[in-house]
Amino acid sequence: MSLTREVARRRTFAIISHPDAGKTTLTEKLLLFAGAIQIAGSVKARKASRHASSDWMEIEKQRGISVASSVMQMEYRDCVINLLDTPGHQDFSEDTYRVLTAVDAALMVIDAANGVEPQTKRLLQVCRARNTPILTFINKLDREVREPLDLLSEIESHLGMDTVPFSWPVGMGRSFGGVFDIRQGRMRVFRAGQERRHDDEDEFIEGLDNPEIARRYGDAYAKAREEIELIQAASPEFDHEAFLGGKQTPVFFGSAINNFGVQEVLDALVDLAPHPGPRQAVQREVQPDEPRFSGVVFKVQANMDPAHRDRVAFVRVSSGRFERGMKLKIARNGKEMRPNNVVSFLSQRRELLDEAYAGDIIGIPNHGVLQLGDVLTEGEHLQFTGLPFFAPELFQAVEVKDPLRTKQLRIGLTQLGEEGAIQVFRPEAGGGALLLGAVGQLQFEVVAHRLKTEYGVEARLMPSRYNMARWFTAEDPKVLQKFMSSNAANIAYDVVDAPAFLASSPAQLRVAQELYPGIEFHAMREHG
């Protein structure tokens, strides 16, 4: 098959939601409907308890699990679908933002009882900033939930994009009758249960005016009909270009646990979501179907076995064809590698991979050679921008209990920093303890635990007076120099030696901004 054809049949998307909206359930059902797994329950069973996330064992387990199940590939119709899971816990949201840089579309799952929740809002901001097309699945219609019209207007106000319902619920909770497929003009009758594999086993009633619907669903039908007429008059027509540009989102209603509405979403991914497109590198635009391979490391994860300290670098293929054993160059340092045991993620089983194309995700086991943001090519020097690091909001100073382990502490923190598990800052004023910066409190706990189990270091974490950081740049080197020498006590370098200004309050930052108008302060740093 030609490269162009391989690219055209790829769909790479992330599934995002607030915890408990039904992301795991829907993921599993998508795999089931695509025929990638046989029995429901296998993804779910692997999901570690959400409620015990501060339990060390659970953290360990989750890390192991997410290596295996955070990327899933399945074939459906004539397409290859790559589905990237995003961590639900907000303390790991930085990870999620980076995952979003590796996809071409996102599927947003919303709990119809709760609407748009905080975690979803943050993720949406990232999608919006990147104009990522978003498909929306409103879940749990088998429960008493909120009015669908309210949900749509809430989504519109948070997304800043128009919603275009493809289906509409008839009733909800105990009176949930099914969904009316607005485009096909027929109602899909709801049947509870988790057994079905194909929506074509469903019962359909043709036509919105069909007296059979009215007879069976009475008031719920009358209400749905009124609403459908209303949205048909008020909602814009679905415009594929507007969807691709992140200006419209198609909306589907269903109940994932009951396998209801799942196939519609799967078909929409194939029919509506874009195939991998060009990626902008600093040097040039890279086309997905150009012959030479290039890819970006968007996630690094420690492997199951702490004794070996091996890690898996997750690489999104940007162009060309990847073949096992091919020689690759790391653009950052020109080093060469010839990865042989590269894995793909076919429906959660890690399998040895033979080839991959733009849009695919490959996992390269390594011992720290690959870092977040690294670009791999067949030799060309390419840098891709856009892998975000966010300014931490929580800081702790870190010291080692046994001074003889200082070196191990540095090694451990450097590696964990490169992996993106935490941000590590080295204060400019020498001699000070290293500072750890995090977006969520849980990151500190994970890092302390991993320092102990993987590096044999008992770290002591202590409160720090800082709670804000801003990377800074200036056009005029003299201005930069002056700022740095006058504020040495507040300056620290991150893992790639980018300088940051640390402040203990927003007021302190404001003062610095007023005193040094020539300095630009950044809440986000893009790798590359």
* Binding interface with ligand G4P (CB under 6 A): 17, 19-25, 44, 88, 139-140, 142-143, 255-258
Which residue, 142 or 418, is less far from ligand G4P as judged by CB?
142
Confirm or deny that 374 is annotated as ligand binding: no
Q: Strand, coil or helix: what is 1? A: coil
DSSP for 96-164, please give it: HHHHHTT-SEEEEEEETTT-S-HHHHHHHHHHHHHT--EEEEEE-TTS----HHHHHHHHHHHH-SEEE
239 is in an annotated binding site: no
CB of 492 within 8 A of CB of 392?
no
The answer to the question of whether 340 is labelled as a binding residue is: no
Write out the E strands in 303-340. 311-319, 321-323, 328-330, 336-337
| Residue whose C-alpha is closest to residue 136's, from 99, 165, 96 | 165
How near is the Cβ of 205 to ligand G4P at its closest, in Å? 22
Closest separation in Å from C-beta 142 to ligand G4P: 5
What is the closest distance, in whole angstroms, from the C-beta atom of residue 528 to ligand G4P in the complex? 32
CA dist 8 and 80 (Å) reads 9
Confirm whether residue 114 is marked as ligand binding: no
Beta bridge partners, 469, equal 502
87 is in an annotated binding site: yes
Beta carbons of 182 and 225 less than 8 angstroms apart: no
Cβ closer to ligand G4P: 93 or 371? 93
CB of 266 to ligand G4P, least distance (A): 16
Cα separation, 163 vs 243, in Å, equals 10
Backbone φ and ψ of 227, nearest 5°: -65, -40
Neighbours of 111 (CB within 10 A): 23
How far apart are CB 43 and ligand G4P at their closest, in Å? 9
Q: How far is the CB of 123 from ligand G4P (least distance, A)?
A: 12
**Which residues, 6+ apart, have CB-to-CB distance to 256 below 8 Å?**
22, 25, 26, 29, 109, 137, 139, 140, 262
Q: Cβ closer to ligand G4P: 255 or 366? A: 255
Q: Which is nearer to ligand G4P, 11 or 140 (CB)?
A: 140
Give whichever of 69 and 82 is closer to ligand G4P, judged by the CB atom: 69
| 88 annotated ligand-binding residue | yes
- Per the CB < 8 A criterion, the answer to whether 275 and 11 are in contact is yes
509 is in an annotated binding site: no
Nearer to ligand G4P (CB atom), residue 40 or residue 391: 40
CB of 140 to ligand G4P, least distance (A): 4
Among residues 257 and 509, whose Cβ is nearest to ligand G4P?
257
Shortest separation between residue 31's beta carbon and ligand G4P, angstroms = 13
Which position has the token pair 């302060």?
521
Is 101 annotated for ligand binding? Answer: no
Q: Decide if 321 contacts 355 (C-beta within 8 A).
A: yes
120 annotated as ligand-binding? no
19 is in an annotated binding site: yes
CB-nearer residue toward ligand G4P: 6 or 142: 142
Distance CA 144, CA 384 (A): 46
> From the annotation, which residues make up the binding site for GTP?
17-24, 85-89, 139-142
Annotated binding site: 17-24, 85-89, 139-142
